[in-house]
Structure 1
Amino acid sequence: MKFEKASTGHKGLDNIINYLRIGDNVVWQVDAIEDYIEYAKTFANVSLKEHKKVIYMRFAAHPPILENQDVFKTYVLDPSVGFESFTTEVHRIITKEGLEAFYIFDCLSNLLEAWATDLMIGNFFQVTCPYLFQMETIAYFAIIRGSHSFETVARIRETTQLLLDLYNIQDKRYIHPLKVWNRYSSTMFLPHIERNEDMIPVTSSAEAATLFKYLPKHGFGNVKRHLDYWDKLFMDAENLLYNKDSHVEASKYDMQKMIEQLCKFMLSREKRVLELTTKYFTLEDLLSIKARLIGSGYIGGKAVGMLLARKILHNDPRINWDDYLEPHDSFYIGSDVFYTYLVQNGWWNLRVEQKSKEGYFKAAEVLREKMKHGKFTESIKEQFLQMLEYFGQSPIIVRSSSLLEDGFGNAFAGKYESVFCVNQGTPVERYKQFEAALKTVYSSALNKDALEYRLKRGLDQADEQMAILVQRVSGDYHKKYFFPFLGGVGFSYNSYVWKEDLKPDAGMIRLVLGLGTAAVNRVEGDYPRVAALDQPMVQPLGNMEDIKKYSQHKVDVLNLEKNKLETVSLNKLMWEKTGIPMELIGILDYETNRKIREYNIKEQEAWILTYEKLFKDTEFIPIMQNILKTLETAYSYPVDIEFTVNCLSDNSLKINLVQCRPLQTKGVGGKIDIPEDLDEKTLLFATKGHFMGGSINQIIKRIIYIDPKAYSNLSVQDKYALARLIGVLNKLSADQQDAPTMLVVPGRIGSSTVSLGLPVTFSEISNMSIICETAYEIMGMVPDLSFGSHFFQDLVEAGIFYVAIFPNSEETLFNIDFFENAANDLKDILPKETRFENVLKVIDTQSQIQIKADLKTQNLKCYRIV
């Protein structure tokens, strides 16, 4: 670092501070922007005379500091894009301009209009100032006195090289250096009065009395100065609410403007979400949310969706929803805490690197690991502790609630983590468990699937702050276990109809006993109950043997003794007599119970979960229909919800609505005419039902086929290697429109058990147009029709058509000869992967293959065009 001197352009100021040094960041604390402008212009002009490159960073609404575009280089920035995007762009500019550029920044206090919190201004300065220092620059900044908390000013003072107080009192200007790094004189830190070009230390009692008489009005005596801008905003909201104006119309206008402002700063930046929140939330609602908010910033999409859905229902006059809905008990960790965690642990440069094209995935791996081991500030830790004291030893769940999550067009379903904290043990143990869960969720913002998802949707440069939703787990104690009676997901539009007479717009649900994890995820060898809400008793299965086989056999619970999430068998729960009202959701398994009696096993009963009595004899189905349609009407868009159901002592049901988001769907579309008289030799496959993603009429240009027998003979290591190879081919199939590709695999896509299917991640199949899971029952590889799971929602959202093929079914035709005899282009595309030639085929169809499916008739045919 050079210690070359530079002039401020003001002789007296140069004398006070012994000139500027290369690397100095200079922060001016002023009462009016006009005072800062004059000194900034003086510095810019003298720097130009000395042949320095002067850069003006323009982002505020105040008058421009530098106006001559011919001599000053100006960058116009938009703070409303968010802290991360704004800060990253500033760093990009500094990098581009290189060493020894001189900078004039607009007033930092104006960033409050976009970000609302002092915390983020402190974060911005704390990451930008050291980089400017490293680039051997000199930079001028300003803040408005009294607009920031002592904590923010302290962070700025700690980071900057120079902090100067500038007062204008009765047309006399005073400069009071508060910090001048690496320089000292006997009068340097006294206030100085400006007289022409000189700066005279204030030593006379008369001058000092005039100055210090003024100070309490703007500094030490003003209690509000201790508060963050964020806190002042909510104080104003409380005053508005509890001290209403006598003029009713004016008061309504002021309150609506405050609602809009608070929604903009705390709930969302997305236009359609903001329209809904400002329509339904009252000022009381928003202040109630603030009372449960830790830190500042947004509460994130998942929290907003949950609260908004509840508010929409409670505003519905047709039903008294208090009779049916369980109150939520939630806290919110603001999105600003996430960025502050990165900044104060010294990881911001790594975050900037991760935003680059080269570091997008590579730097993410490093940062993700670091985020699991960072530290929180003491003030934030204290708020965490108070929240945990509130919950006591009740189980809680720490859920992702990022800015982009659960919005219109980008659901991020299942992309980020949610972690159960069973919350048993001493306060110290419970805090450690909570903090580990929080760091797990934070680090999941950088997992590969999430990064791939953002990249594919053009969101890789968007702000994606991770807010957190902390909820009391809905449920009850069942001896040593804690879990809700039922957990489930609901869809107001059923993209997965499996019979001709089912109505897609009637909606559907997936339901499980216990925690709802198995309702949202595809689970190996276990099946939730899927119900179309117009015909809930109709299952996509045949006989009782199938109903038993494809039902739930395992239950996710919280084990209070082991202090962890656990999956136990349904039979074990029955053995332990946990008090579940099984007659409401199941029927006795007479065949298994007969065997139990033959073995003389006492006090054990086997059940098959069918939910018949729940659907027929309770209000559950009408309630779910009402919830989904009411929310869909309010959103003017199909919705997807997560919920729990608890059965009270009087056998009444209470539903806890824990999540709501816009549902990405594919409609029925127009009727697809499917040829009836095709020669079987031209068919690749045909099926009745078992497909998802709406109707389709698509030419296929490439087929990727995995031979089931050859795959089953691979080692476990080679099966994983083959999955990675599919990921490579997926990247080569990046354009779904120009090169539509069909992937045909045995068993289950994305299986974590390699004997049941191909262990790919979603990012490794994200560019496919069509995915086919084929049954190879000899080896136990059977497609898993997990209608409505996160996996299948990913397919719908990515525009991927899905079909399950059961070759042994009477309603299915599968032309194995076509796939076995087709030419293999693998060695031409990936010459180094010929070891998999007997397992994997890449078939160039010459655009002679077409697939057609009609959602209404449930007919599907894939055939050669002749």
Structure 2
Amino acid sequence: MLTKLKLNRFKDTQFANLMTKRIFNVLLVANPYDAFMLEDDGRIDEKIFIEYMNLSLRYPPRFTQVSTEEDTWRQLGNTMFDLVICMPGSDNSDTFDIGRQIKEKYPHIPLVVLTPFSHGIRARMEHEDLSIFEYVFCWLGNTDLLLSIIKLIEDKMNLEHDINEVGVQMILLVEDSIRFYSSVLPNLYKFVLTQSQEFATEALNEHQRTLRMRGRPKIVLARSYEEAMDLYERFKNNILGIISDARFPREGAVDSLAGIKLLGEIRKSDPYMPLILQSAEESNRAYASRLEASFIDKNSKKMNIDLRDAVSRNFGFGDFIFINPRTMEEVARVHNLKELQNVIFSVPAESLQYHIIRNHVSRWLYSRAIFPVAEFLKQIRWEGLQDIDAHRKIIFEAIVKYRKMKNQGVVAVFQRDRFDRYSHFARIGDGSLGGKGRGLAFIDNMVKRHPEFSEFENASVVIPKTVVLCTDIFDEFMDTNLLYQLALSDADDDTILRAFLKAKLPDRLVEDFFAFFDVVKAPIAIRSSSLLEDSHYQPFAGIYSTYMIPYLEDKYEMLRMLSDAIKGVYASVYYRDSKAYMQATSNVIDQEKMAVILQEVVGTQYGDRYYPAISGVARSINYYPINDETAEEGTVSLALGLGKYIVDGGLTLRVCPYHPDKVLQTSEMEIALRETQTRFYALDLKNNGHNFSLDDGFNLLKLTVKDAENDGALDYIASTYDPYDMVIRDGIYPGGRKLITFANILQHDVFPLARILQLAQQYGQAEMRRPVEIEFAVNFDARTKSGVFYLLQIRPMVDVKAGLDEDLTQIPDDQLLLKSENALGHGIMEDISDVIYVKTEGYSASNNQLIAYDIEKLNRRFLDEGKHYVLVGPGRWGSSDTWLGVPVKWPHISAARVIVEAGLTNYRVDPSQGTHFFQNLTSFGVGYFTINAYMNEGIYNQELLNSMPAVEETKFLRWVHFDRPLTVKMDGRKKLGVVVLPEEE
């Protein structure tokens, strides 16, 4: 009788009055690109829309984005906003001022700062008064954070009311590190929201399911001992569990044991409250076991996974596991209410008693928002009844009544639409698109909005047909195949790749892939699109793999190749170079999630090979302007064949789209013969992937220009060298060597390439509000003189705006170690004391690969100590051609802060352009100097270095240390860079 009354009474007040205070309008103070990244990538409006539909609420929040002070006041005057999110970009210092003014005028609106995780912004925030902001969050490229911010503030607004109304539970998180709670909260919310969707079992219809989700546990963030204690005292009967850091403020000062004192107090008052202690100090593990708390090591690469598991285990989420109290082994497991009802009479008595004493059953029901039963069972304590069979009966009857009270109904499953031939861009999954995926969505959107792109008679501008496997597919793949342990270990790359290739992708993708094959009917590129890749403060360009597969009539064979390629891209997140890069950029590898882009390869089939007429990379700022060019007009690297050739640092044609008829490399015959492209990449259509390997170019052919000539692919792209008249003629003529000059397209405008590139750079830069880098490819039909320009990717080039007023030409030469009149970079560095340089005595390019190994070893030592150095050597750093320079990859030199190409009299290479290094150089503000001292182009005081003792010396390198730091000064506008020697004492 008691049961019936309790359940009926609860039924009346169920969930209708929960979560009544909502955030409907959000004002985002950010520049357009930051806003686009937040909104379109994670489809924030869509994500929140879906969640609100699930909660049967009709008004999901609308995001209004402003980037100027005038816009801010206009919007605030027109609309009632419930939340303001300020996103200070590195170039936008007035965000905080706008925030302050809003707080003065609208004190009731909560304000939040969302700041990119970068050194410059962190340094600036140390001097800001942040007291007016409810919270400061740090943006790590994961759109789930925005959802967490809204939920955290809504939870805070509704906490007291909802707990008093029906006994909603809360999880208390005590943490004062912005970096950590910004990473932990999205994980916690994702976990809690997913759990609350999962517990909508088959016994619920859609309406009841959505109502129940309103009762999910709230998450409350406390940032000091006093705040945490106050929350605990007020709501101790409704706390599912507590997660606490060890070190945070107590009594106004940071106390390294504050968390231990807090959990100690709580443990005294409640012997069974689930506690989790997280700390970066291993010594705190002992305290955790004394407090009967779980311990999470913050330094662990899989900290977020460990935390999720601990919350799931201790706070009543997931399956209910009955254990034998003596051995702690599992004796029974239930997924849902119906299963609990079925096993309750067969669970061993000692196990059931153990769980009843500790309130585990009611905690599990609370976490699933089954309040009537949870509330009722919580009150029937073991001390009162002390009869195990009576408890079984009560639990059983309560569940039966509750389940009868609910109408039976089927949960509707959301089905994805199929991709068709009219689609450009589709997604599989609900996670993020990742960096490249975001960039593609952004370009697609940009081309549609600017009609000029569609006004060419003989050219169309599009993106290739694309499907993105979102990051949640990656999570599912990693989880279901239990790959994290191996992936995060120190296993070598090949072992990791083999394990990933053995693993299994979700079966449901097969039909989607077949549909994609049917539509594309062309080779497919499988590109990485990770969360952190191309994020505009720390680009990850070129770190992960991109594979290509040919199109086959046998779709099962094609499916096998596609699956291998996707797994290969997933595996590349965990390769050694990627881990080193993570370390260099202070990122946690556990934050990295990989979306994968499946994209039609741009190109034409010639027999058994496939490649485009033109590939290119355009940059909207040119750090090496020559002749009439200006830095603002940008620069483009063009090549025949697949773009991997450009990425690998091959010899490309460098042209400014505003001066397409003035190309340095074709200005003199001798230079043209020496410095135009001689090789190119094509996809081998015969290779069906049985030799799949770490090298993502395993099925690419490196061919000569002669091969393209035989394919008939050079019309309008090549010029012919006439050895008799010693001239170069634009076009294809019999005999004579063919040079890749793109002359008919650039000089004679057969195809409007220069104009399209001007538009792409202009609009890309205007909308991202910073310089951009754009990858593209062109399919050109020589018969009709028409073609399709495909935009493949856009990402920001990070433009360093450090102030520099000094005239560097005035510094006397004898005070300089290095001086370059052709320098890349801008700003001042005063914290470098070490120089690593390649010895020039007896130097031979044949040793370049060995030199690369030496540098990698030294670089690792600098990374481990968090120090930087100046790197000097001959030729192009990072060229894949070992005769042109030392073939290092970025992770091998990532601790260098100035990289110098120093020409030798017998070994001169022109300043390198077009490698993926540039994205990283500009991102980290690294200086790149070109010096040819023997021609009086700059200064390289190697005699001084040779006279100093070496910290370490190998056959090819010397590492020299200065007692006091060198000063690096770079003027990007004048292309001047100097390294000034320390003053003598």
Q: Normalising to structure 1: TM-score of the pair?
A: 0.66
Question: Aligned match of 1:624 in 740, 757, 780?
Answer: 757
Flag the 1:753–1:729 CA change in 2: closer, same or farther, 3 A.
farther
Structure 2 matches for 1:454-853, cutoff 5 A?
A: 454-460=582-588, 463-499=591-627, 501-523=628-650, 527-540=651-664, 543-562=668-687, 564-574=699-709, 576=710, 578-582=711-715, 584-591=716-723, 604-618=735-749, 619-648=752-781, 649-666=783-800, 670=804, 672-675=806-809, 678=812, 686=819, 688-689=821-822, 691-694=823-826, 701-712=833-844, 719=851, 721-728=853-860, 730-731=862-863, 734-736=866-868, 741-752=869-880, 756-776=884-904, 778=906, 781-783=907-909, 785-809=911-935, 811-812=936-937, 818=943, 821-826=946-951, 830=952, 836=954, 839-845=956-962
What is the Cα deviation at residue 858 of structure 1? Answer: 4.4
What does the per-residue CA deviation read over 1:442-491, in whole Å, with 9 as the maximum and x for residues that have no partner? 11112333333333333226622101110011122233322111011111
**1:339 is aligned to 2:437:** no
Residues 313 and 631 of structure 1 are in contact (CA less than 8 Å); yes or no, is this contact kept in structure 2? no
Q: 2:464 aligns with which of 320, 328, 340?
A: 328
Question: Which runs of 5 or more residues in structure 1 are unaligned?
Answer: 1-30, 42-56, 78-88, 105-122, 145-157, 167-174, 239-283, 597-601
Distance 1:731-1:755 versus aligned 2 partners, 3 A rule:
same
Q: Read off the aligned partner of 1:75 and give its amino acid letter.
A: I
Distance (whole Å) between structure 1 residues aligned to residue 626 and residue 581 of structure 2: 28
1:458 partner amino acid: S
What does residue range 48-447 of structure 1 map to in structure 2 within 5 Å?
62=217, 68=233, 74-75=242-243, 139-141=315-317, 161-165=333-337, 177-178=341-342, 183=347, 198=390, 214=405, 217=407, 219=408, 221-222=409-410, 225-227=411-413, 292-320=426-454, 324-349=460-485, 354=488, 370-392=499-521, 394-424=522-552, 426-447=554-575
1:325 aligned counterpart, secondary structure: strand
Report how far residue 426 of structure 1 moved. 2.7
Task: Tell me the SS of whatever aligns to 2:959.
Answer: strand
Whether the 8 Å CA contact 2:800–2:825 is kept in 1: the answer is yes
Residues 454 and 461, structure 2, Cα contact 8 Å, conserved in 1: no
Residue 141 of structure 1 aligns to a residue in which SS?
A: coil
Q: Conserved in 2, the CA contact under 8 Å of 1:391 and 1:472?
A: yes
Mapped partners of 1:492, 1:748: distance in 2: 22
Contact map agreement 2:528 2:596 (CA 8 A) in 1: yes
Question: Per-residue CA shift, 1:587-645, capped at 9, x if unaligned?
Answer: 2112299899xxxxx96542222233322332221221111111211222222111111
Letter in 2 for 1:530: R
Residues 520 and 182 from structure 1, CA distance in 2 versus in 1: closer, same or farther, beyond 3 angstroms? farther
- Does the C-alpha gap of structure 1 residues 694 and 68 become closer, same or farther in structure 2, counting only changes over 3 Å? closer
Structure 1 residues 344 and 537: CA distance shift in structure 2, 3 A: same
Q: Output the CA distance in 2 between the equivalents of 1:729 and 1:125.
A: 28
SS at match of 1:161: strand
Compared CA separation, residues 716 and 63, structure 1 to 2 (3 A): closer
Structure 2 contact 453–460 (Cα < 8 Å) conserved: no
Moved more, 634-643 or 712-721: 712-721
Find the aligned partners of 2:305 and 2:858 in 1 and give their Cα distance. Answer: 44
Query: What is the identity, as a one-letter code, of the residue corresponding to 2:620?
Result: S
Measure, in 1, the Cα distance between the counterparts of 2:655 and 2:234: 66
Find the aligned partners of 1:311 and 1:636 in 2 and give their Cα distance.
16
The answer to whether the Cα contact below 8 Å between 1:851 and 1:860 also exists between their aligned partners in 2 is yes
CA 1:626–1:421 in structure 2 vs 1: closer, same or farther (change >3 Å)? same
CA contact (8 A) 2:437 2:529 kept: yes
What is the one-letter code of the residue matched to 1:494? N
Contact 2:821 2:931 in 1 (8 A): no
Alpha carbons of structure 1 residues 857 and 547: separation in structure 2 relative to 1, 3 Å: farther
The 3 A distance-change label for structure 1 pair 480 and 752 is closer
3-state SS, counterpart of residue 630 of structure 1:
helix
Query: Using a 3 Å threshold, how does the CA distance of structure 1 residues 719 and 855 change in structure 2: closer, same or farther?
Result: closer
Distance 1:90 1:606, change over 3 A: farther
Are the aligned partners of 1:498 and 1:858 in contact in 2 as well (CA < 8 Å)?
Answer: no
- Is the 1:685–1:812 contact (alpha carbons within 8 Å) kept by the matching residues of 2? no
Distance in structure 1 (CA, Å) of the matches to 2:305 and 2:965: 60
Between the aligned partners of 1:211 and 1:815, the Cα distance in structure 2 is 82
SS in 1 for 2:625: coil
Q: 1:793 corresponds to which letter in structure 2?
A: Q
Question: Which string of whole-angstrom CA distances, capped at 9 and with x for unpartnered residues, describes residues 261-281 of structure 1?
Answer: xxxxxxxxxxxxxxxxxxxxx
Letter in 2 for 1:464: E
Decide whether aligned partners of structure 1 residues 463 and 544 sit closer, same or farther in structure 2, where only a CA change above 3 A counts: same
**CA offset at residue 703 of structure 1?**
2.2
**Partner AA of 2:567 in structure 1:** K
Q: 1:742 to 1:478 in 2, by over 3 A?
A: same
1:717 Cα offset (Å): 8.3
How far apart, CA to CA, are the structure 2 residues paired with 1:101 and 1:160? 27
Partners of 2:305 and 2:942 lie apart in 1 by 65
Distance 2:921 2:219 in 1: 49
Which residue is 2:134 aligned to? none
Q: Which amino acid aligns with 2:508?
A: S
The 1-side partners of 2:844 and 2:287 are apart by: 57
Amino acid across the alignment from 2:660: P
Amino acid at match of 2:659: Q
CA distance in 1, matches of 2:763, 2:219: 50
Counterpart of 1:380 in structure 2: which amino acid? Answer: L
Structure 1 contact 487–511 (Cα < 8 Å) conserved: yes
SS of alignment partner, residue 591 of structure 2: coil
Judge which range, 307-316 or 699-708, deviates more: 699-708
Q: For the structure 1 residues 685 and 376, does the alpha-carbon distance in structure 2 shift closer, same or farther, using more than 3 Å as the test?
A: closer
CA contact (8 A) 1:705 1:745 kept: yes
Task: Measure the CA separation in 2 of the matches of 1:210 and 1:696.
Answer: 73
SS of the counterpart of 1:812?
Answer: coil
